[in-house]
């Protein structure tokens, strides 16, 4: 098992869970079989994250672009979301559950179940799992700008101007305003792109790409990604000497 510096565990890990379909195809199985196995990977990673002391885990589960997939696959994915929201994984690991994304596009029964699990886990404290459902970063940023515009218009006469808009204010309008930005972004499945995920939030995140398909990803692969993260120096635009002095 990969040894880690327990004093430098990333507080927020975001994961693009890629490769379910290709995993299934390689085994001669339907794509839905890959998604089912992907749920098992979520359980493994959730348990390991709580053991390590990670405070936030954000999972890219279903993008707005995924609505363009075949209707039968979308239906199967929605059914899988429902069946996978077993509160055992959250209560067993003391995990709080949150959702970001366009909820109104989800089937009513899915929305109801999401709200139910959020309510039942709101007092859990070990870690917060955030599921991005019907989510895209460009949608999130556009939506945030609309909300900010409406609020700015509503305070005409208050003395507020465009000069009051800064990155901290914009961050408050993002769906992720309740948590810190990711320290580490992991993408499985061998692809080397971000795919419209948390574009605002990952400005200074460390990026880790691996060839492992998501259904095969587990505790050891997670620890390997964290070890790579710990081997890097996060400079935030500063020099190494400035980092050492800070």
130-163 pLDDT, tens digit each: 999 999 999 999 999 999 888 887 765 556 677 8
Mean pLDDT of 84-109: 90
Q: Does any domain span residue 1?
A: no
Q: Does any domain span residue 159?
A: yes
Long-range contacts of 70-74 (CB under 8 A, 24+ apart): 73/31, 73/32
Mean pLDDT of 81-110: 89
Q: Does any domain span residue 140?
A: yes
The count of domains in the chain is 1
Return d(Cα 187, Cα 168) in angstroms, integer: 27
Report DSSP state, residue 173: T
CATH number at residue 103: 3.40.1180.10
Question: Which residues are known catalytic residues?
Answer: 18, 66
Q: Does any domain span residue 2?
A: no
Structural domain that includes position 97: 7-245
> pLDDT at residue 68 above 60?
yes
Phi-psi group of 189: left, alpha or beta (phi > 0 → left; psi -120 to 50 → alpha; rest → beta): left
**230: Cβ–Cβ under 8 A, 6 or more apart, which residues?**
4, 5, 8
> pLDDT at residue 246 above 80?
no
Give the range among 108-117, 176-185, 233-242 with minimum mean pLDDT.
233-242
Q: Does any domain span residue 177?
A: yes
> pLDDT at residue 243 above 70?
no
> Which run of H or of E encompasses 97?
strand 95-100
How sure is the predictor about 84, in pLDDT bands with cuts at 50, 70 and 90? confident
Q: Does any domain span residue 228?
A: yes
Q: Does any domain span residue 172?
A: yes
């Amino acid at each position: 098992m990969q040894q880690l510096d327990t004093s430098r565990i990333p507080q927020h890990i975001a994961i693009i869970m890629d490769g379910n379909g290709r995993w299934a195809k390689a085994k001669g199985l339907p794509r839905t079989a890959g998604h089912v196995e992907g749920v098992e990977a979520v359980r493994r990673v959730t348990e390991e994250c709580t053991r390590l002391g990670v405070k936030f885990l954000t999972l890219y589960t279903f993008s707005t672009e995924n609505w363009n997939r075949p209707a039968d696959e979308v239906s199967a994915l929605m059914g899988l979301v429902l069946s996978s929201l077993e509160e055992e994984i959250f209560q067993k690991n003391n995990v709080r559950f949150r959702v970001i994304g366009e909820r109104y596009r989800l089937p009513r029964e899915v929305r109801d179940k999401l709200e139910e699990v959020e309510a039942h886990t709101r007092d859990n404290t070990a870690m917060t799992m955030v599921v991005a459902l019907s989510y895209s970063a460009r949608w999130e940023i556009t939506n945030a700008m609309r909300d900010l515009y409406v609020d700015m218009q509503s305070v005409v006469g208050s003395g507020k101007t465009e000069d009051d808009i800064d990155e901290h204010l914009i961050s408050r309008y993002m769906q992720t305003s309740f948590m810190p930005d990711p320290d580490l972004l992991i993408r499985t499945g061998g692809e080397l792109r971000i795919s419209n995920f948390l574009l605002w939030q990952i400005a200074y995140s460390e990026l880790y790409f691996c060839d492992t398909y998501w259904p095969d990803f587990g505790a050891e692969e997670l620890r390997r990604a964290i070890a790579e993260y710990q081997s890097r120096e996060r400079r935030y635009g500063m020099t190494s000497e400035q980092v050492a002095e800070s």
